[in-house]
Structure 1
């Protein structure tokens, strides 16, 4: 198989357009079309459903299968390049970490500080997004590893338990729950994260386990925004303790205690793409995550 033609196909499928692929690969649009026709002729299969003008390209069933294989092939290619570059004793290279806002703000900084002090010549980038977006970035090989809340939904992603994040239901300090706490919570207006967020997934799961449905709700884009909205009396929420600590100390929020002092928590996971070998920098950082 012609790897250049495969790369052209992969780029077209990833970007969704011939013109975008031509620009990304620094070749002409006719050259893109020619490479795709040659690949389809070689494989004797139509890879792309030609769309009418203005509509996004879609892959055929065979095209989707080839795209998945191509993604793995180019992930291994990138890993090989990164590995060779890193064999100077981690004196140069790049490590890209994908993570959620909460982990980036509260859990990650001490590990980053330690790693950067130990490997000052490694360039570290942190991409912050929700769990669904982080999974997509792993599959597209735009990040090396990830730290998220919740388990992955993609079968090509491997997860490893890292930490437990304590959570509590928080209410405005002037709210007075009734004795029937479950009934009272079911009557409240809930502030939740957006779809795709690991916090939303875990909040809904934990609340359901305790008989709370959160039928009246509003979605906000960050835990910090939710905490401040609760402090202003807009409703109640289930949030990580690390997010609400300052507002609790200031008396703006109250944490509700669970029966028998039960503690709510959510697991945090380290993720990597199973078809992509880890670079030396990624291996070193992963080792630091689990060394304490």
Structure 2
């Protein structure tokens, strides 16, 4: 079989996407005839018809084989082209990783130390996000995401790293901790500090505190666990945060591990075509070494693949 060029694939993709040769020609800055010729050449190489079009018709129709090829390419081709553009714009090697602020602040320095032993000259760009990580990977802005959300998106495959528990934290001056089951009742009337709307940990805490129909009205919301914990240290209220944010050295706050709350899972995700990239695979392995066991409970019954 003759070698298939990216030009032919890109032209077919745009013809299928726009439903016309003219739309693809405008998108790619080609002539109408060039777009048609590219598709015909691809059909010759693949020895099969991809597009049905009548003479003079403005719209095209995909054959079953054409639909299968388009489904294979979409949306991975857009992501790959976007990454290629960014790579050309910035020739310095970089790995762009997104994760919640708390995971980076509390957990990731040890991972970075190990990772940079192998890639000392590479830029490691971190985006501290929670709610938009999947979209950032899909549009080419991120290479990897570490998240407490399972996206269920085949374009951003995820592997389960492990899980952790949450803890109640409150000013030590408030006295003894309640029993875990009594926390929702204990919390009523006390100022509640939590994360911004939409964040995973806020949702879990609000669901727990709102059991039995209680109304949960946060007094302060902020972007990450370090900020939430700082507010608690200043005596502004209580919160529910990851247990690994709490240290024996914390002198002004008390904590209670909440085993009665669901465990929070942590996933490692990336664009599908980058799964076997050596830098991405090394980062995944470093996350396993530094986080699973020391911080995260390991996945149960498997290697963590979703």
Per the TM superposition, whether the score is higher than 0.5 is: yes
- Does residue 1:215 correspond to 2:216, yes or no? yes
Q: Distance in 2 between matches of 1:273 and 1:44?
A: 32
Q: Which residue of 2 aligns with 1:183?
A: 185
Q: 2:287 aligns with which of 270, 284, 289?
A: 289
- Provide the secondary structure at the position in 1 that maps to 2:186: helix
Q: Which residue of 2 aligns with 1:20?
A: none
- Does residue 1:252 correspond to 2:289, yes or no? no
- Contact kept in structure 1, 2:167 and 2:242, CA below 8 Å: yes
The CA deviation at 1:265 is 3.9
Tell me the TM-score normalised to structure 1 length. 0.63
The CA deviation at 1:240 is 1.5
Deviations 1:253-279 (A, max 9, x none): 111355xx7686422111123365543
- Does residue 1:44 correspond to 2:88, yes or no? no
Deviations 1:29-76 (A, max 9, x none): xx978959969x99738xxxxxxxxxxxxxxxxxxxx99965411334
Q: Which residue of 2 aligns with 1:166?
A: 165
- Contact kept in structure 2, 1:192 and 1:200, CA below 8 Å: yes
Deviations 1:150-209 (A, max 9, x none): 32264533222113233201112222467854322233332121123232233335546x
- Contact kept in structure 1, 2:13 and 2:73, CA below 8 Å: no
Q: Which residue of 1 aligns with 2:301?
A: none
Q: Distance in 2 between matches of 1:196 and 1:178?
A: 28
- Provide the secondary structure at the position in 1 that maps to 2:240: strand
Q: Distance in 2 between matches of 1:163 and 1:202?
A: 18
Structure 2: runs of 5+ lacking an equivalent: 1-7, 18-24, 36-55, 61-69, 291-306
The CA deviation at 1:284 is 2.3
Q: Distance in 1 between matches of 2:120 and 2:260?
A: 43
The CA deviation at 1:117 is 0.7
The CA deviation at 1:136 is 1.4
The CA deviation at 1:212 is 8.0
- Provide the secondary structure at the position in 1 that maps to 2:174: coil
Q: Distance in 2 between matches of 1:127 and 1:68?
A: 29
- Contact kept in structure 1, 2:156 and 2:269, CA below 8 Å: yes
Call closer, same or farther: CA 1:4–1:163 in 2, change over 3 Å.
same
Aligned CA RMSD, in angstroms, stands at 4.2
Map of 1:1-292 to 2, 5 A cutoff?
3=10, 35=29, 44=59, 71-77=75-81, 93-130=93-130, 132-152=131-151, 154=153, 156-176=155-175, 181-207=183-209, 213=214, 215-218=216-219, 219-245=221-247, 249-256=249-256, 258=258, 265-274=263-272, 278-291=276-289
Aligned length: 236
- Contact kept in structure 2, 1:190 and 1:214, CA below 8 Å: no
Structure 1: runs of 5+ lacking an equivalent: 11-30, 46-65, 84-91
Call closer, same or farther: CA 1:6–1:111 in 2, change over 3 Å.
same
Q: Distance in 1 between matches of 2:9 and 2:57?
A: 9
Q: Distance in 1 between matches of 2:162 and 2:178?
A: 34
Q: Distance in 1 between matches of 2:253 and 2:122?
A: 41
- Provide the secondary structure at the position in 1 that maps to 2:103: helix
Whose radius of gyration is greater, 1 or 2? 2
Q: Distance in 2 between matches of 1:273 and 1:212?
A: 41
- Provide the secondary structure at the position in 2 that maps to 1:127: strand
Q: Which residue of 2 aligns with 1:49?
A: none
Tell me the TM-score normalised to structure 2 length. 0.61
Q: Distance in 1 between matches of 2:124 and 2:156?
A: 22
